[in-house]
Amino acid sequence: MTDAARAAYVILVRDRMVDADEFATYGQKARGAREGHAVTPLAFYGKHEVLEGPDVEGAVILKFPSFAEAQAWYRSPAYQEALKHRLAGAEYRVLIVEGV
């Protein structure tokens, strides 16, 4: 399987909310930032249990057709505009991981 054919997952872990208004703005802008990208939400702040490490407030898992497409979404002007509000609204850890 070529690298381009492997799905990739963006995992966003919210550690702590710091400004609910900024975070609400992020939510509105982030929805719009998905347009034009082949993204499938797999988990979205649902019930969770931390088995190891520090507690988290929530998590999101987004599936993309490839690592490059996940990077393109994250680096897109629309998501970068939304990102400013996420950074002001909450503390997160975010990563892209390639599937098998």
Instruction: Give residue 5's pLDDT.
Output: 72
pLDDT tens-digit map of 78-97: 999 999 999 999 999 999 99
Residue 68 predicted with pLDDT over 60: yes
pLDDT tens-digit map of 9-50: 999 999 999 999 999 999 999 999 999 999 999 999 999 999
Q: What is the CATH number of the domain that holds 51?
A: 3.30.70.100
Query: Which amino acid is it at 98?
Result: E
Residue 98's nearest CA partner among 59, 60, 67 is 67
Residue range(s) defining the domain that contains residue 82: 3-98
Q: How far is CA 85 from CA 18, 62, 82, 100, in A?
A: 11, 19, 6, 32
Q: How many domains does the chain have?
A: 1
Distance of alpha carbon 59 from alpha carbon 5, whole angstroms: 25
Q: How far is CA 38 from CA 9, 33, 62, 100, in A?
A: 12, 11, 10, 18
